[in-house]
Amino acid sequence: MTDAIRGAVSLCTALAILLTLAGYFGHAHPAFDTLGALRIQFAVAFVGVLLFSVAFAALTARMLALTGLMIAGAGIAPAALPAERVTSADLSVYSQNLRYDNGSPEAVLSAIEASDADVLVLQEVSEGNMRVIDRLRRRYPASIVCDFTGVGGVAILSRIPDTGPTGCAEGGGAAWLRVVTASGPLTVVGLHLYWPWPYGQAAHVDRLAPALSALAEPVLIAGDFNAPPWTHSVDRIEAATGTRVVGGLRLTYRRSEIWPGLPLDHVLVSEDIAAETRQLGTSGSDHAALLSRVAFRVRAAVR
C-alpha cells in the first residue's frame, strides 16, 4: 500500500470529520441540518476507514477515523439511550408514511389491524392511498385528512369517537385531532416536513410553529420529520410545542443507497405523557411504521 493512497484516505477522512462537525450547527444554516441527517452514515464510513487503517498500517488514517467516530457517536448516543417503559397504556398510536405510490394497500391494512391501535397518524395519503383511509373509517369513525403537496396529505383517524377540535395548519404538512379518553384529553398531531436544505424545511417549520404552539396540551406529535431527532428542526418543533422526542434510535427510512437507514420518523409527547415506541415493518412503503403505547402521568379524576 503506497503512502499516496494512505495520504488520500487520511485527507478524505479529515474532510468527513469537518462535514460531521458541520452537522452540529443546523441552527446556523439549514444546510448543516442536511449534513446532520447523515451522521450515522458518516459513523459507518469512519468504521470502514478504521478497518482499512488496521489492515494497511495507516496510523494517521486510524487516528482520524477514531476522532471522527467519537464526534459522530457523541451526537448519536443520546438518541440511542433506552426509552422509558409504559406498563399500562391508556391508548396506542400507529404512525407511518405510507408512500404515495404504495402498491400494497392490503399489507398496510393488515399491519394496522394487527397493531390494534386506537389512533392512526398517516402521511403521504395520496389518491391511491385513499382507499386505505376509506376502508379504515369503518373502524375509526373520527378522522381528518389535510392536503399536502403532490405526494399526499396527512390523516388522523381515531376509533375513540369522543373527540374535540380538529384542524389543518396553514402551509400544509400538519393535521390535528383532540381525542378524549377515560384518562384525559390528548391533542394528536400528524406531521410531514420537507427535507432540510435545499428543500425548505426551515421555512416550513417557521410556518407551522405558531399553529402548533397554540394547540391545547397535552400533545402527541407523530410523523415523518425528514430529519433525525438531533437536528435543529426537530429541536424547534419541541420548543414550540413543549414536547420531547420519545427515546430510542429507530432507522425508519430504509433504502439501500443510504444503508443502514435514517431515523426520520418520530413521536413527540408533552412532559405529562409517558410513551414507549417500537418500530414495525414497512408494508410496501419506504418508511417503517411506529407503534406507540401512551399513558397519562396524571389521569383525570372524573370524566
Q: Helix crossing, 59-80 with 3-22: angle to 10°?
A: 30
In terms of C-beta density within 10 A (0-12 exposed, 13-18 middle, 19 or more buried), how is residue 153 classed?
A: buried
Section 19-42 average pLDDT: 96
How many CB atoms are located within 10 Å of the residue 217 CB?
A: 14
Find the helix or strand (DSSP H, E) in which 130 lies.
Answer: helix 130-136
pLDDT tens digit string along 110-140?
Answer: 999 999 999 999 999 998 899 999 999 999 9
* Third-level CATH fold of 91-296: Deoxyribonuclease I; Chain A (3.60.10)
pLDDT at residue number 25: 97
Alpha-carbon span 90 to 275, nearest angstrom: 10
Alpha-carbon span 71 to 21, nearest angstrom: 7
pLDDT tens digit string along 141-188?
Answer: 999 999 888 788 999 999 998 778 899 986 689 999 999 999 999 999
Every domain of the chain with CATH number 3.60.10.10 lies at 91-296
Contacts of 282 (CB under 8 A, 6+ apart): 254, 288, 289
Report whether pLDDT(45) > 70. Answer: yes
Alpha-carbon span 20 to 27, nearest angstrom: 15
pLDDT tens digit string along 138-147?
Answer: 999 999 999 8
pLDDT at residue number 256: 82
Q: Any idea which residue has 389535510 for its cell?
A: 146
pLDDT tens digit string along 225-254?
Answer: 999 999 999 999 999 999 999 999 999 998
Report whether pLDDT(57) > 50. Answer: yes
Report whether pLDDT(286) > 90. Answer: yes
Alpha-carbon span 253 to 37, nearest angstrom: 12
pLDDT above 90: percentage of residues in the chain: 81
pLDDT at residue number 42: 97
Contacts of 172 (CB under 8 A, 6+ apart): 146, 147, 148, 149
